[in-house]
């Protein structure tokens, strides 16, 4: 089985790596480096919702998520990330995650149903 670091390298070696939408859990960081990989950025929550409202807000935003076209950027509160993971495990797998490292994004496909990367 391929290790996540190998998947990161392989995906980033692909030419013209481009996503329709980068779904960012919450707006906590400078996302300018993400613009070279995604046509648009969509925030799943503002970061100010109460915990009991997160399910509704995130669930509504994820109705447009397409795991073949979109990427998830996992930044934000742990509870918001958990809610996002619960929704995505039911509607889309595998999911591509964008990880910020060394001033750039790297991407990994994660199978949410088995917990293994592809």
Q: Which pLDDT tens digit goes with each residue over 96-111?
A: 999 998 888 999 998 8
pLDDT, position 14: 59
What is the distance between the alpha carbons of residues 16 and 3, in angstroms, rounded to a whole number? 23
Residue with the larger pLDDT of the pair 9 and 28: 28
| Domains of the chain from N-terminus onward | 4-110 (3.40.50)
Helix or strand run (H / E) with residue 59: helix 51-61
Structure tokens, 22: 């980068």
pLDDT, position 6: 46
What mean pLDDT, rounded, does the chain reach?
84
Distance (Å) of CA 113 to CA 61, 78, 89, 90, 93: 21, 19, 6, 8, 7
Q: Which pLDDT tens digit goes with each residue over 25-63?
A: 999 888 988 999 999 999 999 989 898 899 999 999 999
What is the distance between the alpha carbons of residues 60 and 44, in angstroms, rounded to a whole number? 9
Interval 63-82 mean pLDDT: 93
Residue from 48, 44, 46, 24 nearest 35 by CA: 24
Half-sphere exposure of 70 (CA within 13 A, CB side): 20
């Amino acid at each position: 089985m391929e290790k996540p670091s190998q998947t990161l390298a392989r995906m980033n070696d692909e030419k013209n790596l481009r996503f329709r939408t980068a779904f960012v859990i919450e707006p906590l960081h400078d996302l300018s480096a993400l613009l070279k990989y995604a046509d648009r950025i969509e925030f799943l929550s503002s970061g100010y919702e109460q915990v009991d409202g997160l399910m509704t807000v995130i669930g509504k935003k994820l109705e447009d998520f397409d795991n073949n076209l979109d990427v998830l950027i996992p930044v934000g509160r742990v509870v918001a990330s958990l809610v996002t993971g619960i929704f995505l495990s039911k509607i889309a797998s595998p999911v591509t995650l964008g990880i910020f490292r060394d001033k750039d994004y790297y991407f990994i496909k994660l199978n949410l149903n088995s917990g293994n990367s592809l």
